[in-house]
Amino acid sequence: MRRPSWRWALAVALVLAALVAALMVWRGSQGSTAGTSGTGVTIADIDPEGVTALSGQADGQADDDSPDTDDATMPGSSQMALLASRLEPQAIDDDYRTGYEVLVYSFCDSDGNGIGDLAGLTSELDYISGEDGLCADELWVLPIFSSPTYHKYDVASFEDVDEDYGTLADFTSLADACHERGVRLILDLPLNHTSVEHPWFTAAADYLRALPEGAEPNTDDCPYVGYYNFSREAQDGYAQLAGTSWYYEARFWEGMPDLNLASDAVRDEIARIVELWLDRGADGFRLDAVTSYFTGDDDANIAFLAWLSGVVRAADEDAYLVGEAWEAQDTYARYYESGIDSLFDFAFAGSWGTVHEAVMGNMRGWNLAVAYASEEALYAEHSAVAGTVAVNAPFYTNHDMDRNASYYEDEGQVKLALALNLLGTGNAFVYYGEELGMPGAADDAARRAAMAWGDGADGMCDGPEGSVGQELAYGTLADQQGMAGSVYEYVRCALRIRRSLPALARGTTTVVDGLSGDDVGAFVRSCADGEWQDVLVVINLSAEPREVSLAGDAKADGFGTLVAVLCVGEDDEVTLDGQTLTLPGRGIALLVKA
């Protein structure tokens, strides 16, 4: 990875030295109880007494071979990092993953022209997916197809990579590199519309311009006139075709003419495009604005999604589909009846959702735990109609939303919001730069600013016009990497925890009522088949420390091993004294059974 600063290298060396020293002290005190060497320790290998000592537990008289309490108690950032380092990220080939969303234009520039490209993205896969990086095992790239705009949602050719981003050979290299790392590659596929520069639209427009006044268009003469929705009358959501009295549907923008998705010819084109990119190495698609395929008609949208899901699975039974349905939860939950794998969980996202309400203190801890459980049941009810299993897609922000560091008052809120997203079940997503607490609000350019690798770092992009000039409250990656208490190190630990405790993503949520209340939310994630170890999650939403008695609910019985923690403050720590769990403000504890 490219990190130009000698200060960063020194910080990393100091942190590593401290961690090695702490680990040596602990190993010496434990003799051979660890049962393994290095940091690749599975949950089954972790000795409960060792974790107790590392977590600063004081259970009456210490054993003769236990470290002194002063030696065992360490600041939260060190405790968090050390416990996370002892976990082993699991490589599981299913739909329950952790995805990283990237706008190629703003991510990493390989050729020095200020525009991100596929080669630059490929060069940073170790950062995205490596165990020393973010541990993501899925990559969602915003549209890469030929387009006249930087965002590329107005596609001029679905067959080609935009020249700003590179070549088809660059895409092949990216796909191969992803698959070598066990990373699933998801392409953003906008099917609502094309660009006005797409050959389908230009052919239809030329045909209509040449059509005699009063004559009716004929698809036998120009098949492409049936690919779009043309009208002689001005209607809401329509734009006038220059040089004619015709209008075309363009709900998003006049540069994006809507496709006629009821056309068999258009559907044949879509099936061909899907098969083409799956053959080229894509592992699935993110589907843009699925509630807008047919304006105001959920039933038609769901029927189209059902057709598309069938087409994709016929081409590749393992391909994955996730849809954007930016509506109320009760509405988008219905879209699981199409058989689609996932839908983005807007009810939990952004500056309005469940996570925000919890972080701002507008929701009881018990209600947060209930919210995790109740949405699982809601999505399962609707996916059962299609005979499929809903895989929720939690996310906190994306390329269309204000980044959370732009509206939270302090770093602790930024961190907690990102953690609560990653504690959702299903296939969770992180938007590039979230792991740094990058800002970005008010307009799309600001929300899609260049990835903040560091001043003078190789690969820095210019970003969209108008995106510069935002203050980085928490610094660049070069500033934060290896720095105890940074947003980056917090998120990196959270991602490692999610990948290492498979039940977090794959389990069913059971609210632990006796441990939950106004400030504290507690739940167990368990898998019915017992394949993955159950996890008890206890969250303190308050900014002040809270004590929780694990004896308060039978559902918490046996969860005596503190296996991971997330602490927002550098000097915070989680302790477990007997059955009394003490959480710092906005602290999170994860426990497994001994």
Are 275 and 303 in the same domain? Answer: yes
- Please indicate, yes or no, if residue 21 is contained in any of the structural domains: no
Contacts of 395 by beta carbon, 8 Å cutoff, 6+ apart = 101, 344, 345, 349, 421, 428, 429, 430, 431
- Please indicate, yes or no, if residue 151 is contained in any of the structural domains: yes
Ordered per-residue pLDDT tens for the chain, 594 residues: 343 343 344 344 444 444 444 443 333 333 322 222 222 223 333 333 333 333 333 333 333 333 333 323 445 678 999 999 999 999 999 999 999 999 999 999 999 999 999 999 999 999 999 999 999 999 999 999 999 999 999 999 999 999 999 999 999 999 999 999 999 999 999 999 999 999 999 999 999 999 998 899 999 999 999 999 999 999 999 999 999 999 999 999 999 999 999 999 999 999 999 999 999 999 999 999 999 999 999 999 999 999 999 999 999 999 999 999 999 999 999 999 999 999 999 999 999 999 999 999 999 999 999 999 999 999 999 999 999 999 999 999 999 999 999 999 899 999 999 999 999 999 999 999 999 999 999 999 999 999 999 988 999 999 999 998 788 999 999 999 999 999 999 999 999 999 999 999 999 999 999 999 999 999 999 998 888 999 999 999 999 999 999 999 999 999 999 999 999 999 999 999 999 999 999 999 999 998
- pTM for the full predicted model: 0.88
Report the domain count for the chain. 2
HEC letters along 289-313: CHHHCCCCCHHHHHHHHHHHHHHHH
- Please indicate, yes or no, if residue 134 is contained in any of the structural domains: yes
Span between the terminal Cα atoms of the chain, in Å: 38
Contacts of 198 by beta carbon, 8 Å cutoff, 6+ apart = 155, 156, 157
- Please indicate, yes or no, if residue 64 is contained in any of the structural domains: no
Are 139 and 117 in the same domain? Answer: yes
Which of the listed residues 497, 528, 550 is the one where a domain comes to its end? 497
102 strand-pairing partners: 141
Would you state the structure tokens that stand for residue 365, as one six-digit string?
A: 């801890």
Are 244 and 275 in the same domain? Answer: no
Q: Is 53 within 8 Å of 460 (Cβ atoms)? A: no
pLDDT for res 594: 82
pLDDT for res 56: 32
- Please indicate, yes or no, if residue 292 is contained in any of the structural domains: yes
- Residue 126 sits in a domain of what CATH number? 3.20.20.80
Are 272 and 411 in the same domain? Answer: yes
- Please indicate, yes or no, if residue 356 is contained in any of the structural domains: yes
Are 111 and 214 in the same domain? Answer: no
The amino acid present at 193, given as its one-letter code, is H
Cα 550 to the center of its chain, rounded Å: 31
Are 183 and 206 in the same domain? Answer: no
> Which DSSP string corresponds to 414-476?
HHHHHHHHHTSSSSEEEETTGGGT----SSHHHHTPPP---TT-TT----STT------TT--
Cα 574 to the center of its chain, rounded Å: 27
The amino acid present at 462, given as its one-letter code, is D
Would you state the structure tokens that stand for residue 377, as one six-digit string?
A: 């049941």
CA distances from 403 to 63, 267, 434, 449, 450 (A): 48, 36, 7, 11, 13
Would you state the structure tokens that stand for residue 211, as one six-digit string?
A: 């059509």
Are 404 and 282 in the same domain? Answer: yes
Q: Which domain holds residue 303?
A: 98-192+263-497
Are 147 and 240 in the same domain? Answer: no
Are 160 and 205 in the same domain? Answer: no
Rounded distance between C-alpha atoms, residue 190 and residue 310, angstroms: 18
Q: Is the dihedral of CA 569, 88, 522, 405 positive or negative?
A: positive
Contacts of 585 by beta carbon, 8 Å cutoff, 6+ apart = 412, 540, 542, 543, 544, 545, 568, 569, 572
Would you state the structure tokens that stand for residue 89, as one six-digit string?
A: 């990220």
Are 163 and 104 in the same domain? Answer: yes
CA distances from 203 to 197, 206, 222, 223, 255 (A): 10, 5, 8, 9, 15
